[in-house]
Amino acid sequence: MSAALRRRLRFALAAWRSMASRLPARARGPYASDVPSSLTEAECRLLAELARDGNALEVGSWFGRSTIALASKARAVHAVDWHRGDEHTGPLGTLNPFLRNLARYGVRDRVVVHVGRVEDVAPALRDDRFDIAFVDGYHTADAVRRDVDLVLRTVRNGGKLAFHDFGRAEYGVSEVVRELGADPDVVDTIAVVDVTPETKRRWAELRGDAAT
C-alpha cells in the first residue's frame, strides 16, 4: 500500500470517528460502544468499578471511551491527553469529538480535561490525590516508565494503578508492570496493581532520581 493511500485511508477513518461523536448516545453506562477504542466491555466495567465514588486520573483519553467508563461511577476524573495522536494511533485531532462524546454520555460535568502532555500536566497534581490512575498513553516501555514516574506519587496508598494493553507483545506495558514487582489482577488486557508504600519504595529504588 502506498504512503499516499495510507494517508487517505487514515483521513477517512479520522473523519468517520469524528462524525460518530455527533450521533445520539447509545444506552448510557460504563460501556460506550460507539466511541472508537479497543477497550472491551469487561474492561470498561472494570474501570467503572475501580473508580466508583473516587477520584481518578487518566493518562491517554483518545476519543473518550475509557473516560466515560471511569466517569460513570467516579466523583471526578482528571483526563490528560494532548489530543494530537501518536505513532500508534496516527496524527488525529481528537479533542472536539472527545468533548462531544463526554457530553452525549452525560459525564462532562465530572471530567476535568487537561489538554497537554502528561510530563507537563502531572507535576502540577498533588501527591496522594487519586484513588486510581489509568495509564493508556504511548506504549513503549520507556514511555510507560515515564508515565509511572509521573503519576505513581499522585495515587494514595491503598489505591490502584491500571495499565491498558498488558500482555501484548508489541508493546512495553507488560515489562513495566513486571518491574513494579506486583502480581497484577488482569481483565482482558488491563492489569491492575495495588499501590502501597512498598510499591512506591520499590519503584523509587529501581528508577532512582527519575521517580522523585
Question: With bands split at pLDDT 50, 70 and 90, how would you rate the model's confidence at 9?
Answer: low
Q: Which of 195, 206, 126 is nearest to 162 (CA)?
A: 195
More confident residue, 208 or 116: 116
CA–CA dist 39, 7 (Å, integer): 25
> For residue 92, what pLDDT band results from cuts at 50, 70 and 90?
confident
Q: What is the mean pLDDT of residues 7-29?
A: 60
Domains of the chain: 3-211 (3.40.50.150)
Report residue 88's pLDDT band, with 50, 70 and 90 as the boundaries: confident
pLDDT for 1 beyond 80: no
pLDDT of residue 87: 76
Tell me the pTM. Answer: 0.87
Region 117-140: mean pLDDT is 97
Least confident of 10-24, 45-59, 83-97: 10-24
Per-residue pLDDT, 11: 47
| pLDDT attached to residue 131 | 98
> Could you tell me which residue, 128 or 26, shows the higher pLDDT?
128
Cα first-last separation, the chain: 46
- Under 8 Å between Cβ of 33 and 53: no
Mapped onto helix, strand or coil, the DSSP state of residue 107 is coil
Q: What is the overall mean pLDDT for the chain?
A: 90
